[in-house]
């Protein structure tokens, strides 16, 4: 089983600061060519828009300067179809207007399940929005399907999609079937779990309690709070003495030099023997 937690906080190095998002775009200076990074990103997205597949890792990161980011957006704005593709598939802001987190979870589910040939029986994804306290849960399981040509394919089938277990105000979803439902066969390979039908449910109230405790511990860690074991009255701390690194004396230096000299002499003798042997063979093969 694999669990993936995702917070609705934008990854670094992808979305620029708010000032660059809300600031009016400044067109590039006349005659100024876009940077190499901007051209590369533009070509890559045009290729993806046309249906081209990228065989590399699903994530690619580009570092852009603020002016390069403006240049890239200007290129997108001048191409209406490409701009629509970017808004729909790629771009997202810190609000929920462009939400890429769900796409991240589906990619992770594919990686876990497909790369293990289905040995990972369930992937659980928690999508947590700390701005509104809303939290949802999604689940994927391996499933074999048949394509249009009759071929079997393994896929990560989604069995639960963004079920809310904590609302925007931090309240638990009190619906009877709300929560995380796991089966015993989720914890073993399929050939060992046949016939297992038992399951257990972690209801939303329990999930909310776990999440509240985790968030509290996270805040305490950030603020350097929590339980700290004090020293006994009058006690001091004694660290282990560090052993100083060994230093080579003049006698050791001389030994190393002698060893190196012998190695060089042996290598020289081996080369001489090889050349002498080769010369003799050549003489033997010469016509009489």
- Rounded to whole angstroms, how far apart are CA atoms 141 and 212? 27
User: Higher confidence at residue 17 or residue 170?
Assistant: 170
Contact 14, 6 (CB under 8 A): no
- Diameter over CA atoms, the chain: 105
Position 246 scores a pLDDT of 54
Helices and strands in the chain, H and E counts: 8, 6
Looking at residue 190, what is its pLDDT?
A: 83
How many residues comprise the chain?
288
pLDDT digits (tens, 9 = 90+) for 28-67: 444 578 888 888 888 888 887 777 765 555 566 777 887 8
Taking 60 as the threshold, does the pLDDT of residue 232 lie above it?
yes
d(CA 281, CA 258): 35
pLDDT at 194: 83
- The pLDDT tens digits for 89-106 are 665 443 344 355 666 788
pLDDT over 90 at 257, yes or no: no
| The pLDDT value given to residue 91 | 53
Q: At 154, is the pLDDT very low, low, confident or very high (cuts 50, 70, 90)?
A: very high
pLDDT at residue 207, as a whole number: 93
Separation CA 123–CA 111 (nearest Å): 10
């Amino acid at each position: 089983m694999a669990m993936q937690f995702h917070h609705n906080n934008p990854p670094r190095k992808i979305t620029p600061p708010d000032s660059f998002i809300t600031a009016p775009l400044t067109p590039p200076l006349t005659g100024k060519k876009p940077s190499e990074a901007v051209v590369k990103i533009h070509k890559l997205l045009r290729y993806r828009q046309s249906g081209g597949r990228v065989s590399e890792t699903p994530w690619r990161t580009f570092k852009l300067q603020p002016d390069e980011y403006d240049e890239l957006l200007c290129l997108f704005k001048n191409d209406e179809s490409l701009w629509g593709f970017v808004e729909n598939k790629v771009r997202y802001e810190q609000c929920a207007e462009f939400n890429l987190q769900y796409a991240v979870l589906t990619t992770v589910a594919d990686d876990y399940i497909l790369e293990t040939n289905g040995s990972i029986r369930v992937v659980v994804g928690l999508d947590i929005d700390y701005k509104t306290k809303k939290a949802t849960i999604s689940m994927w399981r391996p499933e074999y399907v048949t394509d249009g040509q009759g071929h079997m394919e393994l896929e990560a089938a989604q069995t639960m999609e963004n079920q809310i277990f904590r609302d925007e105000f931090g309240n638990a979803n009190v619906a009877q079937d709300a929560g995380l439902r796991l089966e015993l066969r989720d914890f073993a390979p399929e050939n060992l779990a046949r016939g297992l039908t038992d399951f257990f449910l972690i209801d939303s109230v329990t999930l909310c309690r776990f999440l509240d405790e985790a968030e509290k511990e996270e805040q305490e860690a950030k603020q350097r709070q929590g339980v700290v074991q004090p020293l006994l009255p009058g006690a001091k701390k004694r660290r282990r003495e560090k052993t100083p690194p060994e230093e080579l004396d003049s006698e050791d230096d001389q030994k190393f030099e002698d060893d190196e000299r012998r190695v060089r002499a042996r290598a020289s003798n081996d080369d001489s023997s090889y050349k002498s042997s080769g010369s003799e063979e050549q003489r033997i093969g010469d016509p009489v």
